[in-house]
Copies of this chain bind each other. A is one copy, B any other.
C-alpha cells in the first residue's frame, strides 16, 4: 500500500460516520449536492465561507414544508373537530352563521369566508383555556384523528427527507427553528417529539393571552383575538424579534414564505434558500400556483434567478413519509 493510500484509508476509518450519507431519503442529484456542498462550505474552518456555529441559524416553515397541508391546514381540521366538541357541550358557542356552518361541515360557506373566517374559527376554538390545557387538547387530537385521504395520523404525515435535513443541520451545529403561519401552541404540541425542535425554537402565529392567578394558580390563558400573524412579512419580523439574527439556511414551500427567504438570503455571506415544490401527486399531492393552501406563484417564478433551490418532490425525494 502506498503511503498516501494508507493515509486516505486511515482518514476514512477515522472520519467513519461523518462520511455516511446524512440524507439517505434524498436522491443523488443537484438538489442533494447543493445542500451538502453548502453545509460543507460553511462548516469547514478552512473555507472562505466558514460560518461560526453561533450564526448557523436555520428556519423552516411547517405546513407544506415539514408536514403535509392538504386538503387544508391540519390545524384547521383540529379547530373544526374542537368546535364540534365544544358545541356538543354547550351549543351557545355557535354564535355566528360561520361557526354554525363550520360545525355542520358546510365547507363551502367556510371557504367563502376566506382568511377572516378561518381566523374566527381558530380564535373561537383556541381560547378560553390555559396554554397547558390547550396543548393537552392538541396532543389528544393528534393521537386520535386520522387524515381523511391517507388514513394516517397527522403527525405521521411529515417528510422523511426534511427530518433528515433537520438532523443533518443540527449535527453540523446549526440551530433549527420552525417559523410557521400556524399557531405557536399547536405546533409546540408535537414539534419536540416529532421534529426534535424544542419549544423555544418554535415561532408561530399567536392569539391574545392574559396572565392571572386563578383559584390560587398563576395561569397563562389563551384569549380570543389574533395577536400576531406569522405569515408573509410577519416571518422576517418574527425572526428578527425572536432570534435577532438572519438565518443562513431557510426552507419554505409557499408564497407565505417569500419574505422570509428574501430577507434571509439577502444577508451578507453564504445563504441557502430552499422551496419544497409539491410535484408528487402519487405519493403526496401536486399543487403550486392555483392551490388555495400553500399557493406558490412568485416563489416558483423567481427561485432560479434568486439562487433558491426548488426541490422537486417527485424527482428529488426517494421517499416521502417516515413510515414508508
Binding site for B on A (CB under 8 A): 54, 131, 175, 184, 188, 198-200, 202, 206, 209-213, 217-218, 220, 233, 236-237, 240-245, 259, 262-263, 266
| B residues less than 8 Å from A206 (CB atoms) | 241
Other 17 A-B pairs with CB < 8 A, given A184-B244, A206-B241, A220-B236: A54-B198, A131-B240, A188-B244, A198-B244, A199-B243, A200-B244, A200-B245, A209-B240, A210-B233, A211-B233, A211-B236, A211-B259, A212-B233, A213-B262, A218-B259, A220-B263, A242-B242
| B residues less than 8 Å from A243 (CB atoms) | 199-200
| B residues less than 8 Å from A198 (CB atoms) | 54, 244
> CA–CA, A310 to B91, complex, Å?
51
| B residues less than 8 Å from A241 (CB atoms) | 184, 206, 209
Shortest Cβ gap from A160 to chain B (Å): 25
Listed A/B pairs (25) with beta-carbon separation below 8 Å: A54-B198, A175-B200, A184-B241, A184-B244, A188-B244, A200-B243, A200-B244, A202-B244, A206-B241, A209-B240, A209-B241, A210-B233, A210-B237, A211-B236, A211-B237, A211-B259, A217-B266, A218-B236, A218-B259, A218-B263, A218-B266, A220-B236, A220-B240, A220-B263, A242-B242
Copies in the complex: 2
| B residues less than 8 Å from A211 (CB atoms) | 233, 236-237, 259, 263
Shortest Cβ gap from A181 to chain B (Å): 15
Q: Is the interface of A mostly helix, strand, loop or mixed?
A: mixed
| B residues less than 8 Å from A54 (CB atoms) | 198
| B residues less than 8 Å from A175 (CB atoms) | 200
Contact across chains for A237 and B220 when beta carbons are under 8 A apart? yes
Shortest Cβ gap from A128 to chain B (Å): 16
| B residues less than 8 Å from A236 (CB atoms) | 211, 218, 220
| B residues less than 8 Å from A240 (CB atoms) | 131, 209, 220
| B residues less than 8 Å from A242 (CB atoms) | 200, 242
Among candidates B209, B233, B237, B263, residue contacting A237 with C-beta atoms closer than 8 Å: B209
| B residues less than 8 Å from A244 (CB atoms) | 184, 188, 198-200, 202
Among candidates B218, B259, B262, residue contacting A262 with C-beta atoms closer than 8 Å: B218
Shortest Cβ gap from A148 to chain B (Å): 30
Shortest Cβ gap from A212 to chain B (Å): 8
Shortest Cβ gap from A263 to chain B (Å): 4
> CA–CA, A233 to B219, complex, Å?
11
Q: Which residue of B lies closest to A235 (CB)?
A: B211
Shortest Cβ gap from A193 to chain B (Å): 13
Q: Which residue of B lies closest to A265 (CB)?
A: B218
> CA–CA, A101 to B245, complex, Å?
37
Most buried by B among A184, A188, A220, A245: A220
| B residues less than 8 Å from A266 (CB atoms) | 217-218
> CA–CA, A249 to B218, complex, Å?
16
> CA–CA, A199 to B57, complex, Å?
12
Q: Which residue of B lies closest to A200 (CB)?
A: B243
> CA–CA, A152 to B51, complex, Å?
35
